[in-house]
Structure 1
Amino acid sequence: MTPGYSLRARLLLGAALVLVFFIAAAGIAVQRAHADSVRAAHYASLHGTVDLLLSRAEVDASGALVMPTALGNARLSLPGSGLYASIANTGRREQWRSASSVGVQPPFRDTLETGQLRTETLQDGERSYLALSYAVNWQAGPRPAHLVLSVLEDESEYRHEVAVFARTLWAWLGSAGVLLLVAQVLLLQWGLAPLRRVAGEIRRVEAGEQAKIEGRYPTELSGLTDNLNTLIQQERVRQTRYKEALSYLAHSLKTPLAVLRSALQEPARLPEAVTQQVRRMDDIVQHQLGRAAAGGATRFAPPVTLAPVLERIREALSKVYADKGLEFRLDCPTDLAWRIDQGDVFEMMGNLLDNAAKWARQQVLVRAWREGERLRIQVDDDGPGFSDTHSVLQLHVRGDERVPGHGVGLAVVNDLVASHRGELKLLRSGLGGARVDITLPAP
């Protein structure tokens, strides 16, 4: 993992970038909409001024333009007010200008086709104007007078209005953005608090200050914490199993070693004693290794299809017990799968089938099926059955000393079933012999 990698920093950076982009896009859109609205309002005002001029303008019988001294708009009478008006009488080559244009030379339009209304922006040196022009034929005398009315407004007023709004807009949007970022930081602090608590609990588990993750967490994290607790528990069970196996080996091997040491004093029985005690120590080692290596219940093991495993064990045992001519029957759905370590399956079923084959007279039946959320396995034989269902599960106990074996198989199976939180029962089979019934819960 990259040093300094922080989920919180990534979320904050992503949220900040999205927020800045959104605010910038929204601000630009609002600013443009406002500018267009203000421009439209200014042109509407200019159009109103043109209407005012049309209502006040008069043409005498000779076709000359006659304008009153007061127009009803103070800005047209105030020099340099920023609002300028002109009426060009193209037929008589005369032009009237408002008093506001004294000392200023606005670029009035004096040519335009009759009935045409034109809005535009005109430039005069460093100054620019919003302009609206309208041409009309005024009927007076025998010939109509062609009038071109032109109204200009200094664009600086429009720009000032837009600039004031833009400053206000960006100030508010910037403040809102800062508040939203602060809110996001606080929300992330609150939202990521469970992750920090989990990390703290994991550190305490590593330091040995607590046994597992104990806090209650949101639904999105509860599955993770449950799985972590399962892993911690499985690891502790595995460590305990290894410690117990080593302790048991250290304790159990004392007796065979003591027998061997005493046999050294009697050379005549030394070979027999060595053979017996070495076989006993081998049984002890095999049993404890089987217990220590048992995977135990795990929800993380991949599903194992049982039918192929049982088929491989049957083929192997058919060769081993070929002289007995046993019939191995399997009743297992081809798609039956279970979450369990494959090594545990081979160890468990191998010991069960081997034990059944030793005692069977003619046939061995294996059945496996799913029963709700549990796996059921039954191994039947037509042998003599179990005489003592309790002691036969103990190490080195065999049902009949005349039958070859070490008394280890069923004890290993019992330990494996227990490690998977399952249950093993020894019953009477419908074939007349023994039945081993195993129930394994879902991991």
Structure 2
Amino acid sequence: METTEQDGRCPECGRPAGDAGSFDDARRGQRRLAAIARAASSVADAASLSVTLDVVAREVMQATHIAAVQILRVEGGLMRVVGKAGFTDAEDFAERLEQCRRLGARMMFVEAFRTRSRIVVPHRKAAVLADPAWAPLHDIMGGPEWDSFVAVPLVVRGRAVGVLNAYYSPGEDPGPETLDFLDAMADQAAMAVDSADLLARSRHDAQVEERARLARELHDSVVQQVFSMRMQAKALRAQVDAGLGGGPDGVGAVADELLELAQNALADLRGLVLQLHPTELVGRGLASAVRTHAESVHAATGLHVEVEAGQLPELPTELAEDLYRITQEALHNVVKHAQASSAVVRLDRGDDRVPGWLLLEVCDDGVGLGRPAGTDAGCSGGIGLVSMRERAERWGGTLEVGGARRGTRVRARIPVTPLEAAS
């Protein structure tokens, strides 16, 4: 029997007519929950802040009756758009916004940021387009079809880091459920901004630590050797001025010492330059870069380093550099702490029992750590060991530091997918 509105049922879905609104509300609620979940996933996975916040902005538009979204970030007292949807691109938006501010335009999103409180302004578009102070942005703000306006501050750990601006479609009033949804999405955007800030600070701290280490190594090796060369040159000059009072043998001894000091200083400088930028990675690959570094370590310290490298798959440049840095730090620890005479670096795909993994091992014949094999590197408070572990975990891998049959072993295991398997 055909259902009709006279029967009290919806003619399209067959549900009681009074339930149609509830059903639509439920579907809207489900869309908003799904949008929050997708935004959270983007915050966790995306490497670019602008890509992440563009995703958040699009999810807000798709889940609600909102015509356009802007996400602004505050840095050094300045605001800039870092995510948007529904607006045409405008590279000079920040300059136009500053012009509006100078003309006296009232910027509600600035008040939302300063007060860390949500601001709702009904029928905002008409007021903006009628205000001469907003003239520099009239063409951009007049593009989308919108009416009311909501500004939600991005707040994380008690501090505001930006603002989410939502421009509602005509006839749509910001209701409690929509506002709660915007609050949730603003929280996701705030987390993305905070994560980007933390990553930037972490990289800066790592750069500062690396520069300090390089400065110490320059002072302890190259500077000392150049100082000794200067003293030997003065001695040689004194002998020349005295008419070669020490004879040819004396001059030859000073010249030989100068030559040895120059060779050592050159080897140290080459090693430091390689640490700053392992160009071998780009031109000849990971194994070649590791061999070059091993030769540099041997020339500078006398430690014999053997490199055993199997057939490696093609690796992303960033992964190759992380593996190179792990090797570099491990050999640095051998030289500094192990009292070893030799070390072995192994690079291979692993074995048939553990397919899909890249194995990096650095073993030495030194005094050892006094810990059993398999001990997590995180047990040590050393910055270098923590850095090695973080580099391995960045690629879903693991790092173990512990005793070998003799000395110490550093073992990194990284999951890799050969290009042919991924095609």
Smaller-chain TM-score bracket = 0.3 to 0.5
Higher helix share: 2
TM-score (norm. length: structure 2): 0.33
TM-score (norm. length: structure 1): 0.32
